[in-house]
Structure 1
Amino acid sequence: MHKPLFLAAAIAATFFGSTVSTALSTAAYAKGPATDCPHIFGTNGKPSVASSAPASRTQFLCFRGYAVQTSATTRTALWSAENLTAQAVQAARSVPRNSEFYEEAEIPAADRARLSDYGRGTGLDRGHLAPSGDFPDLASQAESFSLANIEPQAAASNRRLWSHIETSTRRMVREYGQAFVVTGPAFDPAQPARLNGRISVPTYMWKAVFVPGVGAAAYVARNDATPRYAVVSISELASFAGVDPFPRVDKAYRDSPMALLAPTPHPGEKSGRKVSLATLTSTAVDRSAQPVAQEPRHEFRQSCVLPFVRAVLTHN
């Protein structure tokens, strides 16, 4: 696959630099469907997807820091999985955020999201499933900007409540030392919506967390500006979303949700309110565009990257 130039530069920077990598070696990494991505799943197994229209045509991809299963029906991922360690999450805090979204060439053109699908004025962000802030090196972070790892996410949620949930997840990883995390969308057939006539817009977003020896549970949030969320068991999530994130985890962990940290608000912002799943899903999701600031554009400046790439090639 021809990698975007910014991604090639990031990989070169990670290789030649002294950036801290994940605790698990990336020697096992092989981009594409030819690997089971053992450095991501451990002994937990891949998430399983219930038989449904979105699951009828799927593709599995393994990246350095995460793995995804994408759907040709929704042109999004059905889940994105990570194996996070305290060391890696701490190192990620020092990695500058300077990457560019790109179309995933491993997915057939007709089955994948396009950059042009995400226009301005929709109220929807290109929302990461495996967030860029989780990754401890430039190469892994750059790969997180593949559209295979992106969902059309309400800007008011992506930049507030959902971002707060991501922060709390990293806090738990630092507290416990390691956590397996799977993130995905849930689509309500009664509330269908498509972005640019091509990309299915999730009704809900969820993030499942498994801490070995401690427990497991999942956050669920509406894909709108509603500042409320639910915490559910893995069994309840599998029934609700049609995805079982941890199929090999013991039944005791699956049926009883562990305590998850409340979402961590940014300075000056309010925390989301925890409610039951029944309350969260009792009303339709608001599809109207919310008045929020424009999504920051990650512009690719070739003039900045080319000298760096030449320097790397000369060094090699």
Structure 2
Amino acid sequence: MTRPLIAAVVLALASFTASARDTGQPCPHVLPTGQPTTQSVDRTQLLCYRAYAVLYSSQTRTALWSAERLTREAVDAARKLPRDSDFYEEERLPEADRAKLADYRRGSGLDRGHLSPSADFPDKASQAESFSLANVIPQDRVSNRRTWSHIETSTRRLARQYGAIQVVTGPAFVGKPRTLGRVRIPDFVWKAIHVPGVGAAVYIVRNDATPAYSVISVAELRHFSGIDPFPALPRTMNATAMDLPPPTPHPGERSARRVAFAWLASGESVADSSAPDSLQHAIRDAGTILSLALAYAR
């Protein structure tokens, strides 16, 4: 990204921040009902962009979540735009806290994975802003280009179907910390979707090459990750996952397999799941849920 473009982006973002202060609501164009909540996380900063907002953590050097209001019009306009922007360091963050291009070294097997993807955004300026490293995580290369990309496509189809949806995407850090450079590598990646008047649910995948995904409720995500993507959601929508469409594969690719979340979180390989309906499997899944609840209790 050229210096003039970076300067223009910074000036535009400053105007968004000022607008948010004037209304008393942070990033009102993206978060009309309030921002997602997190459980006792220190050293965070809310950043507003044209088409999305992130809560950035200086501890992980990633966003804890990235939120967008996705519309049919935006999705249709985005389909006509080529992807030609460059990743850049977020200059609004302190230099010691921000992720840097040098952190994402080549040969790691990890992509610079967008949380709010550039293919969601209807104009060049919004697309360019999506390449801020504040909107990026170290993401498994195979998943980013297959299963996760398929989930992003299905999410855009939902926006076309319903006209407008709220989307919050984020990482989950639950295992022993691993880093790429100075950036923490997530163990899971999730995408929460709220269709007003219909319901809400969450896609979740491991941050590895496993061709599998789960669909869970917003309440399950909150217990697992400590993040509530839609704090204003009615309790019934919070506790029950609406039906989400299967991830849409690219031509010639196989679709990912939907699995129980307890299995996804257990760390087993797909080949190990030979009898998902057996009593033994059900008992093991119940044990996994209990173990996860104890291990990840906050």
1:156 pairs with 2:142: yes
Query: Runs of 5+ in structure 1 lacking a partner?
Result: 16-25, 286-316
Cα gap change, 1:32/1:70 in structure 2, threshold over 3 Å: closer, same or farther?
A: farther
Instruction: Give 2:183's aligned amino acid.
Output: I
1:278 aligns with 2:262: yes
The one-letter code matched in structure 2 to 1:29 is F
Superimposed CA distance per residue, residues 140-193 of structure 1 (whole angstroms, 9 cap, x where no aligned partner): 0000000000000000100000000000000000001110000000001x3321
Q: How many pairs were matched up?
A: 266
Q: Is the 8 A contact 1:32 1:61 kept in 2?
A: no
* Deviation by residue 1:52-110 (Cα, 9 ceiling, x = unmatched): xxx21101000000000011110000000000110111111011211010000011011
Match of 1:290 in 2: none
- C-alpha RMSD over aligned residues: 2.5
Q: In structure 1, what is the Cα distance between the partners aligned to 2:195 and 2:97?
A: 34
The answer as to 2:11 corresponding to 1:5 is no
Aligned match of 1:47 in 28, 36, 39?
Answer: 36
Go from structure 1 to structure 2 and tell me whether the alpha carbon gap of 1:10 and 1:40 turns closer, same or farther (over 3 Å shift). closer
Show structure 2 runs of 5+ residues with no match: 270-298
Q: How does 1:62-73 map to 2 (within 5 A)?
A: 62-73=48-59
Q: CA deviation at 1:10?
A: 8.5
Name which of 83, 91, 115 aligns with 1:97.
83
In structure 2, C-alpha distance between the alignment counterparts of 1:217 and 1:63, rounded to whole Å: 25
Deviation at 1:6, TM superposition (A): 4.0
Match of 1:178 in 2: 164
Cα deviation code 1:112-160 (max 9, x no counterpart): 1000111111000000000000000000000000000000000010000
Deviations 1:231-283 (A, max 9, x none): 00000111111110000011111111110010000111110000111000111
Q: 1:32 to 1:147 in 2, by over 3 A?
A: farther
CA contact (8 A) 1:202 1:223 kept: yes
> What is the one-letter code of the residue matched to 1:246?
F
Amino acid at match of 2:45: Q
For residues 197-233 of structure 1, give each alpha carbon's deviation from its aligned partner in whole angstroms, at most 9, with x where no partner exists.
x110000000000000010000000000000000000
Letter in 1 for 2:4: L
Contact 2:111-2:144 within 8 A present in 1 as well: yes
Pick closer, same or farther for the CA change 1:33–1:111 going to 2, 3 Å.
Answer: farther
Structure 1 length-normalised TM: 0.79
Structure 1 CA distance for aligned equivalents of residues 19 and 64 of structure 2: 16
Select the structure with the greater relative contact order (CA < 8 A; seq sep ≥ 6): 1
Within the candidate set 230, 234, 243, 2:218 is matched to: 234
Question: What is the deviation of 1:30?
Answer: 3.5
Whether 2:186 is the aligned partner of 1:187: answer no
TM-score, structure 2 normalization: 0.84
Could you tell me which residue of structure 1 aligns to residue 283 of structure 2? none
Question: How many angstroms apart in 2 are the aligned matches of 1:69 and 1:101?
Answer: 18
